Structure 1
């Protein structure tokens, strides 16, 4: 099973889109829990998380990782959406591999080569599947979830993700 950890700040609409893509996996038992780590939202992020049945905590990624109950974590940006069929690829990865993994960008989000080269993307834009034992030491001193994901050697899994739109 998998614990999903999402770090937010004033992301109520984006969080709702991400949570909607997790419903099927929660029903079938792949997702054990969703932890929303809020960094001081002034919008209705807490209500969205509460109504969806998430664990809502005020604090950064370190608090969320420490609270997670599963051995494997899925870190996502608010607004990212997992494409149908992702659970099988993640379960296969968790059974076979020990290293962290990222999703493949959806064909709908792929950009031409030069646009990809010239556009910066976040380390979490393609999600991150990681063992809790690996994430815990990284998250203790990390400023945010992005810092946990940055610089990790990862495997690419075949499941697709629709990346979160850039924040304005």
Structure 2
């Protein structure tokens, strides 16, 4: 089983896009719970999270969140990121065969414009980070409150499926 963690601030529409993609994983029995870590959004982020059945938290200890997650694996995503078809099978396969962290491949159809490639630093959550829960707990204790910091510290293997990064979802 998989727990999904999404950190957000005023990303109502983006969160809805990501959650709609995760429905397939819930139906297939992969996604057991989704945890939304909210930095005080004043839009409809909380309503979207509640309507989708997510755990919505406004304050948290990341290590405790990882400990209480239901899944044996944790997937950390940006709001707006959307895994493409085949993601459920790819994650099931990875969880059955591997014990190390993984990430999605960047979508070939959603490449960063050259200007962004040259002048902006990539966010590790752009491609999601999948890791065993026990490793997530250990790393969360070392990195503090942010899932982004947790993702930055991972050496990952590429999964066989792609993801549309959050920055591309906004333009779609």
TM-score by length of 2: 0.89
State yes or no: 1:7 paired with 2:1.
no
Cα–Cα, structure 1 residues 55 and 2, in superposed 2: closer, same or farther, change >3 Å?
Answer: same
Give the aligned partner of residue 160 of structure 2: 158
Superimposed CA distance per residue, residues 43-86 of structure 1 (whole angstroms, 9 cap, x where no aligned partner): 11110000011111222470432320111011000010010110
Superimposed CA distance per residue, residues 109-147 of structure 1 (whole angstroms, 9 cap, x where no aligned partner): 124778535431111110010011001122234231110
Give the aligned partner of residue 82 of structure 2: 81
Give the aligned partner of residue 94 of structure 1: 95
Name the SS of the counterpart of 1:16 in structure 2: helix
Distance in 2, matches of 1:41 and 1:112, equals 29
Distance in 2, matches of 1:115 and 1:15, equals 23
Distance in 1, matches of 2:60 and 2:19, equals 19
Distance in 2, matches of 1:119 and 1:39, equals 23
For structure 1, which runs of at least 5 residues remain unmatched after alignment? none
Cα–Cα, structure 1 residues 85 and 35, in superposed 2: closer, same or farther, change >3 Å?
Answer: same
For structure 2, which runs of at least 5 residues remain unmatched after alignment? none
- Equivalent position to 1:149, from 140, 151, 154: 151
TM-score by length of 1: 0.91
Cα–Cα, structure 1 residues 69 and 4, in superposed 2: closer, same or farther, change >3 Å?
Answer: same
More helix by share: 2
Cα–Cα, structure 1 residues 35 and 115, in superposed 2: closer, same or farther, change >3 Å?
Answer: closer
